[in-house]
Structure 1
């Protein structure tokens, strides 16, 4: 048969979504793929019920419905202080996954280099391969996941055209400080590079940590390209509503790529989601309190069971150190734990470029009952692991 593409041979399917399938196979509590098991805000779902009868049901403008883009611009101005023109600087996409891919295809040429902090969300590596780029990885060092500014500058010295920055970070929950972001910004300006931000967890933070918008820093408005989504903020991961914020020149390219990738996001879902974009500050305070409760319940529960974890500063993931179980193959360990303990996790090595096999990632965007059930099952982990000499 005719040879298939080389690009598609150099990455696997999503390990995160693979572990969801394993969880379903064994009836495990799914703490692998990061979606909640609680409902979106009732105001949004009520509006969706109305839209089901009244429309719109046909194509919206390919880069997003006008009222949706205007609502996004208002929300972004409120939280970041930055004004984005809804007509020339906003592109609505089918989730932040497409947002990132459209951005990469808009700014990257084959052979360009892209800097990525490690650990990283698995899509970033695949995105660089699909665009023909060469990734350059900069370690974030556990347990606090700091980075070495010299290593970051070396990536730019090698010619990195852009840095992908997930803040707050999936999988490690790091929230970059203003001082760290200023280091990144100074290097981006010095080497004339873009910073492509993934800010999907911008509202999921744990005191005293604060989200600083990279684009708000001096000189970074036009060289920051923001990828984001409504998925996590409004618990609508299945709606696939994302967006890109960028200067008009970049946005013009992103719009063209997006048009031929997906044509446009779902018109009725955009119409319903405008309700969420218009929420007041109380919603976001309640959201933070809700996630703080879930973090305290689950991460505190893991600590009470004697497990070693890294403390998340934002997002809704926690890395647990499994060194005590003599783990050499964390994929094998994750599948064993899903099958034998009944809790699904993600092997940490799928996020690290470095040779790291001693972490697994849990997410805790779940109801109390779900998290308590997972903790009850994890009580048996050590006893069940005794029968296995190594993984």
Structure 2
């Protein structure tokens, strides 16, 4: 009898931990926690989006572009103005020099860039390696591509990989390594020696590297190192980023990727049949944003770092073990000091208990990783200062309420 393969949607749902063993389709943890937050009136520190807009000059640039008639399809690879601004950004901050005509594509957010890259470059019989915990869309798109998702664990308290385990995770079938740095959900920022080991192993196994660097400007006291700048990486690396996190315009969905022409051409072949193009006036506005002075980029990291510290204080007052992040929007805690080993169960209780919603880290893992991270919770601190102060005050009461 011929075995019936899972449908594409089932592979995507399984990859994102949405399909139960009995075939029941669940909702994402983000939807579940948001629903609980709305029902209870809780402060939602689950999903990572800001609650205030970014720079006024970028909004004004979008409004001007609309008024001036930039409202039809953009070129499939993005408007020239934005591609040139992306190239200038990569040169300015990292010394990289992608050709804006042949080595850059503008995408509908980083999510589309990741999806188009994986769907273009991997397929059945291939393995895609990520760190674990991993952002849930990675598992979904890897599943949709038909490739096998392999993981290497990140270990608390600093969420660095065990390099021996990382080496063991590679095989002759490893077609691509997908790296998120700075890392969601852990907040880790990987140093040069870790990234170089990934590059060396990828070269050894003939694997491509796809990097998700959307939090590149949101690091605290450490420097972001693009993988493409490391020895042996440029010829095999696709670098992905976006405007949403840097400029606090997540709803505009403007992302981009850069890399060697032969890889970018392959990805563009797939991308043009996904969205073709999107957000013409927003692309023009983000080109303006990428040209903002260094002081803007320095200030957003400093401001976000202060917000991290406000929320972390409330979490420590609650009796939780706080793992201080070096980047991103997120701080992780261990619930074990409160005698709680199941963060999923606590996450479901938390909105009613103290009026704050969070995301349990096990949902970002395969079963073995879920057990390893069973007591971890992730909180987002990309909110207004007064919201975080109120959330911190509420969380400080957790131990007593338990």
TM-score bracket for this pair, using the shorter chain length: over 0.9
Match of 1:43 among 35, 38, 57: 57
Quick one: distance in 2 between partners of 1:380 and 1:104? 44
Residue of structure 1 in register with 2:143 after alignment: 129
Residue of structure 1 in register with 2:253 after alignment: 240
Instruction: Say which SS state the counterpart of residue 116 (structure 1) adopts.
Output: strand
Quick one: distance in 2 between partners of 1:186 and 1:377? 47
Cα distance, 1:157 vs structure 2: 2.4
Kindly indicate whether residue 11 of structure 2 is the aligned counterpart of residue 7 of structure 1: yes
Quick one: distance in 2 between partners of 1:257 and 1:4? 20
Kindly indicate whether residue 104 of structure 2 is the aligned counterpart of residue 90 of structure 1: yes
Quick one: distance in 2 between partners of 1:181 and 1:244? 19
Contiguous gaps of at least 5 residues in structure 2:
1-5, 19-26
Quick one: distance in 2 between partners of 1:282 and 1:324? 40
Kindly indicate whether residue 391 of structure 2 is the aligned counterpart of residue 374 of structure 1: yes
Kindly indicate whether residue 40 of structure 2 is the aligned counterpart of residue 26 of structure 1: yes
Cα distance, 1:325 vs structure 2: 4.2
Q: Deviations over 1:95-114 (max 9, x none)?
A: 11111000000110212101
Kindly indicate whether residue 382 of structure 2 is the aligned counterpart of residue 365 of structure 1: yes
Instruction: Say which SS state the counterpart of residue 262 (structure 1) adopts.
Output: coil
Quick one: distance in 1 between partners of 2:266 and 2:219? 32
2:187–2:330 CA contact under 8 A, matched in 1: yes
Q: Deviations over 1:188-210 (max 9, x none)?
A: 11111111111001011111x11
Kindly indicate whether residue 237 of structure 2 is the aligned counterpart of residue 224 of structure 1: yes
Contiguous gaps of at least 5 residues in structure 1:
386-391
Quick one: distance in 2 between partners of 1:72 and 1:139? 32
Match of 1:294 among 281, 286, 307: 307
Cα distance, 1:21 vs structure 2: 2.8
Kindly indicate whether residue 211 of structure 2 is the aligned counterpart of residue 197 of structure 1: yes
Residue of structure 2 in register with 1:160 after alignment: 174
Quick one: distance in 2 between partners of 1:228 and 1:110? 26
Relative to structure 2, which stretch is displaced further, 153-162 or 107-116?
A: 153-162
Residue of structure 1 in register with 2:71 after alignment: 57
- TM-score of the superposition, structure 2-length normalised? 0.91
Instruction: Say which SS state the counterpart of residue 379 (structure 2) adopts.
Output: strand
2:208–2:237 CA contact under 8 A, matched in 1: yes
Q: Deviations over 1:302-339 (max 9, x none)?
A: 22443211110111211111124444543222121012
- TM-score of the superposition, structure 1-length normalised? 0.94
Cα distance, 1:340 vs structure 2: 2.5
1:341–1:380 CA contact under 8 A, matched in 2: yes
Residue of structure 2 in register with 1:388 after alignment: none
Q: Deviations over 1:317-365 (max 9, x none)?
A: 1111112444454322212101221101001111233112101100101
Instruction: Please list, as runs of the form range in 1=range in 2, the aligned pairs for 1:324-363 lying within 5 A after superposition.
Output: 324-353=337-366, 354=369, 355=371, 356-363=373-380
Cα distance, 1:301 vs structure 2: 3.2
Relative to structure 2, which stretch is displaced further, 261-270 or 328-337?
A: 328-337
Instruction: Say which SS state the counterpart of residue 233 (structure 1) adopts.
Output: helix
Quick one: distance in 1 between partners of 2:62 and 2:13? 40
1:239–1:269 CA contact under 8 A, matched in 2: yes
Distance 1:149 1:8, change over 3 A: closer
Quick one: distance in 2 between partners of 1:284 and 1:47? 18
Q: Deviations over 1:119-139 (max 9, x none)?
A: 111111111101111111101
1:14–1:122 CA contact under 8 A, matched in 2: no
Quick one: distance in 2 between partners of 1:134 and 1:223? 20
2:13–2:140 CA contact under 8 A, matched in 1: no
